[in-house]
Amino acid sequence: MNKSITTYQELIEEKQKLEVLLKAQKELIRYDVQELKLQFKPVTDVLANIKKFTTRDKTEILLNIGSDIAVNTLIKKVLLGRAGWLTRLIIPYFMKNFTSNVLAEQKDKWLEKLSHWLHRNKNGKQKEKEKEKEEEEEQPSED
């Protein structure tokens, strides 16, 4: 780097060397950032789970109302019926937040299972009717 450049050709060669060096340094930085992301993945996962307990998903109002009722009856009144007032105040708060996030994440999966279950029962009845028709057709008529 301290070498003095006297000709235009030396300047172009030095520029190319520096561009190659810059490209290598950028690639090294990208690799280091990827390694840091992999190392901090457990921390980010823990923080994401803590966020589920501290914040509430407000996209599904009906699911939130249902989960609030369930948490109030099961957790607050049944499980924590004899607990102290602070415990009865804090634990349901965190459980309501957590259930709202879990229900919002799993909503599509549960709706798909429900529609599959309803569709399966409907098709099951149709298949039974089709089998009965086939059995009637297979029986030789005694004319």
pTM of the complete model beyond 0.95: no
Domain housing 61: 8-125
Q: With contact defined as beta carbons under 8 Å apart, do 74 and 86 qualify? A: no
C-alpha dihedral over 22, 24, 25, 29, to 10 degrees?
Answer: 140
Task: Please report the pLDDT score of residue 113 as a whole number.
Answer: 85
Q: What is the pLDDT of residues 54-66, one digit of tens each?
A: 888 888 888 888 8
Per the domain annotation, does 89 fall within a domain?
yes
2 found inside a domain: no
Please give the Cα distance from 46 to 57 (Å, whole number). Answer: 18
Residue 140 lies in a domain: no
Q: Is residue 102 part of a domain?
A: yes
pLDDT range class, residue 142, cuts 50, 70, 90: low
139 occurs within a structural domain: no
Tell me how far apart the alpha carbons of residues 73 and 77 are, in angstroms, rounded to a whole number. Answer: 5
Count of the separate structural domains present in the chain: 1
Q: Which helix (H) or strand (E) holds 32?
A: helix 8-54
Per-residue pLDDT reduced to its tens digit, 81-130? 888 889 888 999 999 999 988 888 888 888 888 888 877 766 556 666 66
Question: For residue 26, is it within any domain?
Answer: yes
Q: Is residue 130 part of a domain?
A: no
